[in-house]
């Protein structure tokens, strides 16, 4: 299976964990990003993710490569969903294996932070009474230009 | 020369199209392209300063020259994850 996935179906998280498992790796760290039912005080109904597909795939590949270069990891797999996402569904999943746990934790954190900054994917939030494109990474308020 | 610029997300909705054609002088840079988009599509005026331009699926610096065969996209602030 491909270790970099941009897909509209449910992410097969167990398969990604197995994909990075190797005999020398004593640690596998994972991160799952899930759809929250609230944002900035609004009751969220669902999200729609849009991607610039070919570039998004390339940037995910680059992030995986950079994680391998920066951290002592054995392997990394990243999956990101596109299309409509319901509450509590995972929109992104990262699995990293390493000999010892610090590298896997660090690479996992690095990968999700870079994904939020660099991958051309946008989410539109549908809430009670409206819809809005979310601009910029993170869970806090971001002003333009940040 | 004429370049095609793909639009996504908020940019696509504001311009009401997923692609615009932009007429540029030969050797125009990314920053010239961005200024020209702003003049051609005033509805993108507020989004442009916070957006990036991708050329051939890579984020481009403002002084990069663009060519008519390039794959160009306007990338509003991303919000994946």
ipTM summary value: 0.96
Q: How far is CA A20 from CA A24, A73, A100, in A?
A: 11, 10, 14
Gap from A120 CA to chain B (nearest CA, Å): 6
Of B10, B50, B81, the CB nearest to A116: B81
- Token couple for B5: 């610029």
Inter-chain CB proximity B78 and A121 less than 8 Å: yes
Closest residue, chain B, to A35 (C-alpha): B81
A32 touches chain B (CB under 8 A): no
Q: Spell out which residues of chain B touch residue A142, defining contact as CB-CB under 8 Å.
A: 77
Of B10, B50, B79, the CB nearest to A145: B50
On whether the CB atoms of residues A46 and A87 are closer than 8 A, the answer is yes
Nearest Cα to Cα of residue B80 among A86, A113, A66: A113
The vertex-B1 CA angle with B24 and B26, nearest 5°, equals 70
CATH of the domain at B7: 3.10.20.30
Q: How many domains does chain A have?
A: 1
The reply to whether B80 falls in a domain is no
Task: Provide the pLDDT for residue A118.
Answer: 98
Q: How confident is the model at residue A1 (pLDDT cuts 50, 70, 90)?
A: confident
The reply to whether A93 falls in a domain is yes
The reply to whether A118 falls in a domain is yes
Give the residue from A51, A55, A81, A142 with the most B CB atoms within 10 Å of its CB, the best one to mutate.
A55
Q: Is the per-residue pLDDT at A131 higher than 80?
A: yes
Q: How many Cα atoms are found within 13 Å in the side-chain-facing hemisphere of B8?
A: 28
On whether the CB atoms of residues A72 and A104 are closer than 8 A, the answer is no
Structural domain including B30 reads: 2-75
Structural domain including A71 reads: 4-133
CATH of the domain at A77: 3.90.1170.40
Task: Provide the pLDDT for residue A138.
Answer: 55
Q: How many domains does chain B have?
A: 1
- Token couple for A47: 């999200």
Round the average pLDDT of chain A to a whole number and report it: 93
Q: How far is residue B52's CA from residue B40's CA, in Å, rounded to a whole number?
A: 17
Task: Provide the pLDDT for residue A144.
Answer: 33
The reply to whether A68 falls in a domain is yes
Instruction: Give percent of chain B above pLDDT 90.
Output: 100
Q: How confident is the model at residue A26 (pLDDT cuts 50, 70, 90)?
A: very high
């Amino acid at each position: 299976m491909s270790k970099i996935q941009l897909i509209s179906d449910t992410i097969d998280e167990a398969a990604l964990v197995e994909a990075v498992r190797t005999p020398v790796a004593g640690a596998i760290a994972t991160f799952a990003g899930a759809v929250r039912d609230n944002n900035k005080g609004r009751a969220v109904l669902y999200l729609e993710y849009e991607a610039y597909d070919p570039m998004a795939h390339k940037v995910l590949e680059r992030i995986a490569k950079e994680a391998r270069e920066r951290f002592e990891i054995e392997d990394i797999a990243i999956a990101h969903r596109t299309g409509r996402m319901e509450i509590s569904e995972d929109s992104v999943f990262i699995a990293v294996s390493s000999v010892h746990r610090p590298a896997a934790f660090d690479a996992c954190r690095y990968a999700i932070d870079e994904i939020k900054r660099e991958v051309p994917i946008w989410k539109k939030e549908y809430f009670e009474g409206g819809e809005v494109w979310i601009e910029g990474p993170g869970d806090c308020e971001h002003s333009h230009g940040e | 020369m004429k370049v095609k610029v793909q639009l996504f997300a908020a940019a696509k909705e504001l311009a009401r199209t997923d692609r615009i054609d932009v007429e540029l002088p030969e050797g125009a840079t990314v920053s010239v392209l961005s200024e020209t988009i702003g003049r051609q599509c005033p509805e993108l005026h507020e989004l442009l300063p916070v957006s990036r331009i991708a050329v051939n699926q890579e984020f481009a610096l403002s002084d990069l020259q663009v060519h008519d065969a390039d794959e160009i996209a306007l990338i509003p602030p991303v919000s994946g994850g």
